[in-house]
Amino acid sequence: MSTTTSTVMAGGAVPPAATVVPRGQVTQLRVLHSEWIKMRSLRSTFYTLIAAVVALIGLGALFSAFTASHWAHMNAHERADFQPGMTSLRGFFLAQLAVGVLGVLMVSGEYATGMIRASLSAVPGRLPVLWAKAALYAAVTWVLMTAGAIVAFLVGQATMSSQHIGTSLSDPGVPRQVMGVGLYLTVVGLLGVAIGALIRNTAGGIASVFGLLLVVPVLAEALPASWADHVNQWLPSNAGQSLISLHREAHTLAPWTGFAVFCLYAVVALAAAAVLLKRRDA
Amino acid sequence: MIEAHALTKRYGERAAVTELSFTVRPGAVTGFLGPNGAGKSTTMRMILGLDAPTSGRVSVNGKRYAQHRAPLHEVGAMLEARAIHTGRSAYNHLLALAATTGIPRRRVDEVIDIVGLREVARKRAGGFSLGMGQRLGIASALLGDPATLVLDEPVNGLDPEGILWIRNLLKDLAAEGRTVLLSSHLMSEMALTAEHLIVIGRGRLMADTSVAEFVRAAAGTSVRVRTDEADQLRQALAGPDVTVRSTEREVLDVTGLSSDRIGRIAADRGIALAELTPQQASLEEAFMEMTRDAVEYQSPAREREGQPA
């Protein structure tokens, strides 16, 4: 920087505004644009999203190929349990880690680096920043994960078609299952953003998201059966994943009811984040 | 114009800022001075609506900061240079801030040139030196061509060339009629940059005055006298409010009498003077004098001198 610097120095202080700066107001749309610039200008965003898509497609293809090659050796019980759609979409379980982490980082990354003070002094109303982050991340996640799920499904079914055990998008419930992956992951991302804004710390936020999505359902297994049957279906990830299972099992919510419950968790978390964002010192 | 009225901030039991009232006027560089932990940064965060005051209020250009529809055009702020995501380039950082009020790209390029970061603008800010971080902070403050600038410790980490540059920049901005508030714990820097001073210690206002007035009032003015007849002169000058110190045999440092008066007394007694020089205390000395009291509570001596508490 030395050359540029000394050129500037030599001339003394430069007049601060050679061009007339338009005095625009802060709008939700402009904040959305600002958040878009922030999102696309971080390499970590790009890598994490790629990782999620690779996990979604790669694992689906792997499970499908594995099943196809072992089909001849599988017993009747295993064949009865087999769900071709789910096998090709199984990668969503790993993809949710990447999506959840990036959701938390969307907000906690700004607290960790101090960027949040610049963001909130540019937008002192504060809430537009949260809404923009949530909306933008939801849109990006939905587009990428829905596309990823469709590719994973098609690749998986093509692999399994050698054994004639595949399914197709024209079979009942299958389109809902495939689209469900994109929708589920989108809400996981929203939960991540909300929890990131609530906890304001990357490690704590990530731990909370995975505690909620992965650990709580496992802990709930320890409940007495009479309770577990009632409680477990309402837990966030169980409710949300009802949308992805093809057949409704006992003690699970109907697909769209379950997804609505999952969305409600995200809405409540975002509302709490909004209230605290307004109240707390930055 | 920044106006604070009885601004108070408590964190639990600890008061960071207590009943702070001051006005920062346009057209001059105002220095915000205080030892570390005096409440400077807290006050600046309250000006920008990042921290909510426990009581009292502060307005910028007539409104609370958060009520401005285009805050970047009202106030340019640099609070801690590292208010930037380390993974993002300087250019994209500024572009994202600019987008919030629709500031065009060419203005982003312009401020990058003003602060001299052109060559590193596309590099990740995480690799910036302290001085480059400060320049980036100043660039974001200038982005909206604001009428008011609030800068927290802007010269920290700058090399002498950089310090000279920012000193001139701030003076030019003030000369254009803008309001400039900069905090520092470097008194010597303030003496060269600021015209007006707001001094706080332990979160309370200690002085709101011009730099010249501050120096005169806080440390008093001594007069250096050199004469062969030092002992006779010392006796002649003796009085209730007069202190005479001597470091060399023929030199006296007199406080409590003007140089005119000392000259007259010496002439009356027929004492020949080789030197008679009014000594200005430096801002550094004046500041240390004042903050010593902030640390040790108010001393009776200070009240007698008529200093604001």
**DSSP per residue over B204-243, as a string?**
EEEEEEEHHHHHHHHH--EEEEE-TTHHHHHHHH--TT-E
Tokens representing A6? Answer: 């000394």
Please name which of B71, B147, B49, B150 lies closest in space to residue A30, comparing C-alpha atoms: B71
Task: Please state the separation of Cα B299 from the chain's center in Å.
Answer: 24
In a domain, B171, yes or no: yes
Residues B211 and B73 in one domain: yes
| Structural domains counted in chain B | 2
Domain that holds residue B269: 222-279
CATH number at residue B178: 3.40.50.300
Neighboring chain A residues of B114 at a CB cutoff of 8 Å: 8, 14, 16
Residues B172 and B257 in one domain: no
CB contacts under 8 A, B 119-158 vs A, are 119-120, 132, 140, 142, 144-145
For residue B267, with 0-12 CB atoms within 10 Å meaning exposed, 13-18 middle and 19 or more buried, which class applies?
A: exposed
Kindly give, in sequence order, each residue whose CB lies less than 8 Å from that of residue A273, ignoring residues fewer than 6 positions away: A130, A193, A194, A195, A197, A198
Higher-confidence position of A268 and B239: A268
pLDDT in tens, B208-256: 999 888 777 765 678 889 999 888 899 888 888 888 888 788 899 888 8
Please name which of A212, A154, A216 lies closest in space to residue A187, comparing C-alpha atoms: A212
On whether the CB atoms of residues B186 and B156 are closer than 8 A, the answer is: no
In a domain, B151, yes or no: yes
Q: Check residue B158 and give its pLDDT.
A: 86
pLDDT in tens, A195-246: 999 999 999 999 999 999 999 999 998 889 888 888 999 999 999 999 998 8
In a domain, B10, yes or no: yes
Q: What would the mean pLDDT of B204-208 be, rounded to a whole number?
A: 91
pLDDT in tens, B72-110: 999 999 987 678 899 999 999 999 999 999 999 999 999
Highest mean pLDDT among A223-237, B19-33, B173-187, B209-223 belongs to: B19-33
Q: Does A42 touch chain B (CB under 8 A)?
A: yes
Assembly ipTM: 0.88
Q: Does B304 touch chain A (CB under 8 A)?
A: no
Task: Please name the residue of chain A whose CA is at the shortest distance from the CA of residue B138.
Answer: A16
In a domain, A76, yes or no: yes
Residue type, A280: R
Neighboring chain A residues of B85 at a CB cutoff of 8 Å: 38, 42, 109-110, 113, 115
Q: What would the mean pLDDT of B164-170 be, rounded to a whole number?
A: 92
Residues B10 and B53 in one domain: yes
Residues forming a β-bridge with B57: B5
> Which residue's structure tokens are 């359902």?
A217
In a domain, B205, yes or no: yes
Task: Chain B: give the shortest CA distance to residue A127, in Å.
Answer: 12
Q: Check residue A10 and give its pLDDT.
A: 37
**pLDDT beyond 70 at A270:** yes
In a domain, A18, yes or no: no
Residues B33 and B67 in one domain: yes
CA dist B248 and B253 (Å) reads: 10
Residues B120 and B233 in one domain: no
Q: Determine whether the interchain pair A26/B51 forms a contact, defined as Cβ–Cβ distance below 8 Å.
A: no
In a domain, A4, yes or no: no
In a domain, A10, yes or no: no
In a domain, B309, yes or no: no
On whether the CB atoms of residues A48 and B87 are closer than 8 A, the answer is: no
- The SS3 of residue B249 is coil
> Which residue's structure tokens are 């009291």?
B293
Domain boundary among B197, B216, B235: B216
CA dist B226 and B244 (Å) reads: 12
Higher-confidence position of B157 and B127: B127
